[in-house]
Amino acid sequence: MPRHIRLAGLPSSLLWITMLAVSGSFGQSPAPLVQNVINRTTVSLDGDWHYIVDPHEEGTARSFGSRNFVEYDFNTSPSLHVPGDWNFQRPELQWYEGTVWYQRSFDYHPRTDTRALLYFGAANYRARVWLNEKPLCEHEGGFTPFNCEATSLLQDGANVLIVAVNDTRHSDDIPSLRPDWFNYGGLTRDVMLVEVPREFIEQYSIQLDRGSSHRISGWIRAPNPSTSQKVTIRIPELKLGTEAMADKYGLYWFTIDAPKLELWSPEKPKLYRVEISTPTDRISEEIGFRTIETRGTDILLNGRPIFLRGIDLHEEPFYRSGRAHGEDDARTLLGWAKELGCNFVRLAHYPHDESMIRVADRLGLLVWSEIPVYQGVDFKSRQTLDKATRQLTEMIARDRNHAAIILWSVSNETPKSAERNAFLHQLITTARTLDPTRLITTATNQTTTAEAHKKVFDDPIIADLDVFGVNEYIGWYEGVPADLDITTWSTPYEKPMIVSEFGGDAKYGLHGAASQRWTEEYQEDIYRHQIAALRKIPFLRGTSPWILKDFRSPHRQLPGIQDGYNRKGLISESGERKRAFYVLQQFYHELAAQASETRKP
Ligand code: GCU
């Protein structure tokens, strides 16, 4: 587990390198996270992998990693497809939680002056990796990427990769024991070898300075910093370029003035090709430039107030069971959010696949990205805080250059306590240090109702936030929809609020009186009352109802209605739109029309 070393005086952006680097004992720690792998030379290791289910952890005792065992044989074992969860590839594994050993062989021919990093988009929850029978690295956290330095262990020709993935839930994990979503286990995202030069561009941050519509600045981390090493940043379409200057900590800093820059926005998601090069390496990325800030209770995108017309979604595809991954799933899910009239999505409750963010960049959808510090977490545990900090650091390291992301969320519905406040305060401070360009938020359901129907948003953590999210379920877990007509909302904080969750369950096709729970009419009624009530909140600057699509959850077992699904979706798992879908769509189309009116010169 990470140990904390006093690193006084180091510039903030170096902080994350130290956090990622210091780690466990198995093999070597994951190497600093390589960014933008899609624009790197890669060797895909996706496909069918052999697997062995290991409920009693025999593999560790019999060192499956080094393959000297008798009663098991990877080569004659069945296979699982990667990327993908194991639960919905094999009926006997649907409810399995424990260890599964993955194995695949591949041919590889190392190239001179080239390093090879083994990259995992995600492995839920714990992963231990062996390459050619040698322990390589381990990682914990099911929704963020990691990569391991594999150059020295790779052979010219045949190679064998073994990964033990365990998704058992523990009280001091992130998330903890009882998340209201399905615990999909396995190598759930792409696996690949990323080839980079011996000295390569590891990380970089490129964005508009806060409050500026034309000054682009940032830093680049490239090893062996020396003032003599020429590091350049170019934006060919704008015929702009500059040379970055090294500081003594190994970072290159730069500023580019771009008077003709077209800003990225949901209406015009303009991306520019940006090229970074050093004497030994070059990388390019399509980046959008926009500013995001708050002023009083307003959220300003590119200096103008914006209302976030959003929807929450889990990382589950339509039409098939399992974990979503890749561009196709992202395009379907975000395409439906666009159809709803959204300019914003809250990706719940964990970092989704990077392809989701890339598609949001292209479609012009603003994004709330969150780490799964969810409900009952062990706030007293230093280890748990380290785990949360690592996931936060990896999330920001992967996605820091995606214009779509405007909000980092450090938690969801955590109960107030001194330990909780201190825990979240630490995460908020870390997020601000790692990325001073974005807004920090969290979703809270900790409101005070001193008098009936008088809601006060006074959770002390709001003081630390730029924007606060409130989850409220009036009409479902609390009272009836009509209570919304008499509910008042207030807060002691002069900050923008997003209602980050509201809604109710409805089984698609179940019809009845608006007062009959589980029917489409009841859900529709909740939405009508919610929207009417929310319009009256003077500091409301966004909504993201719970949720785009019905999703799997072990908590939801009502026969004939839930059958293993949380039914608060506006769309069923097979793509059928419920009545409430159109109520929200109409509200969002109205807001969009108003917004485009105000944008007119
Ligand atoms: C909570 C929580 C969600 C959950 C939802 C529900 O607010 O944040 O993860 O699924 O309520 O109960 O449906």
pLDDT number for residue 19: 45
Picking from 147, 129, 43, 224, the residue whose alpha carbon sits closest to that of residue 398 is: 147
pLDDT number for residue 30: 66
pLDDT number for residue 5: 35
Q: Which carries the bigger pLDDT value, residue 153 or residue 223?
A: 153
Nearest CA to ligand 1 atom 3: 180
| C-alpha 95 to ligand 1 mean position (Å) | 21
Phi, psi at 22, each rounded to 5°: -75, 115
Pairwise CA distance, residues 369 & 391, whole Å: 12
375 close to ligand 1 (CB < 6 Angstrom): no
Q: What is the largest CA-CA distance in the chain?
A: 76
Kindly list the distances between the CA atom of residue 489 and the CA atoms of 245, 453, 459, 529, 538, in Å, as whole numbers in the listed order.
Answer: 50, 8, 13, 14, 9
Q: Give the percent of the chain with pLDDT over 90.
A: 85
Cis peptide before 145 (omega within 30 of 0): no
Q: Which carries the bigger pLDDT value, residue 226 or residue 194?
A: 194
How crowded is the C-beta side of 331, counted as CA atoms within 13 Å? 4
Question: Going by C-beta distance under 8 Å and a sequence separation of 6 or more, which residues neighbour residue 500?
Answer: 312, 346, 368, 443, 469, 470, 471, 544
Q: Which atom of ligand 1 is nearest to the CA of 503?
A: 13
Cis peptide before 125 (omega within 30 of 0): yes
> What H or E segment, with its residue span, contains residue 267?
none
| C-alpha 68 to ligand 1 mean position (Å) | 46
Nearest CA to ligand 1 atom 4: 180
562-600 pLDDT, tens digit per residue, is: 999 999 999 999 999 999 999 999 999 999 999 998 877
9-26 pLDDT, tens digit per residue, is: 444 444 444 444 444 456
Phi, psi at 351, each rounded to 5°: -60, 125
199-209 pLDDT, tens digit per residue, is: 899 999 999 99
| C-alpha 180 to ligand 1 mean position (Å) | 6
440-462 pLDDT, tens digit per residue, is: 999 999 998 888 899 999 999 99
Q: What is the mean pLDDT of residues 512-519?
A: 98
Q: Any idea of the CA torsion for 290, 349, 388, 46, to the nearest 10 degrees?
A: -90
How crowded is the C-beta side of 148, counted as CA atoms within 13 Å? 27
pLDDT band at residue 3, thresholds of 50, 70 and 90?
very low
Asked which of 24-38, 237-251, 279-293 is least confident by mean pLDDT, the reply is 24-38
Q: Is 254 strand, coil or helix?
A: strand
- In the predicted model, is pLDDT for residue 401 greater than 90? yes
pLDDT band at residue 372, thresholds of 50, 70 and 90?
very high
pLDDT number for residue 58: 85
pLDDT number for residue 169: 98
Question: Whose structure tokens read 């879908």?
Answer: 581
pLDDT number for residue 16: 45
Best mutation site among 180, 313, 555 for ligand 1 pocket (most ligand atoms within 8 Å of CB)? 180
Determine whether 111 is exposed, middle or buried from the number of CB atoms within 10 Å of its CB (0-12, 13-18, 19+).
exposed
Best mutation site among 316, 500, 501, 561 for ligand 1 pocket (most ligand atoms within 8 Å of CB)? 501
Q: Which carries the bigger pLDDT value, residue 22 or residue 97?
A: 97
Pairwise CA distance, residues 337 & 585, whole Å: 10
On whether the CB atoms of residues 165 and 123 are closer than 8 A, the answer is yes
Region for residue 224 given its phi and psi (left: phi exceeds 0; alpha: psi -120 to 50; beta: otherwise): left
550 close to ligand 1 (CB < 6 Angstrom): no
| C-alpha 81 to ligand 1 mean position (Å) | 30
Q: Is 238 strand, coil or helix?
A: helix
pLDDT number for residue 66: 62
What's the first-to-final CA gap in the chain, in angstroms?
56
546 close to ligand 1 (CB < 6 Angstrom): yes
pLDDT number for residue 257: 97
On whether the CB atoms of residues 194 and 37 are closer than 8 A, the answer is yes
Q: What is the mean pLDDT of residues 170-184?
A: 98
Mean pLDDT of the chain: 93
pLDDT number for residue 456: 96
- In the predicted model, is pLDDT for residue 112 greater than 50? yes
Q: Which atom of ligand 1 is nearest to the CA of 471?
A: 7
pLDDT band at residue 535, thresholds of 50, 70 and 90?
very high
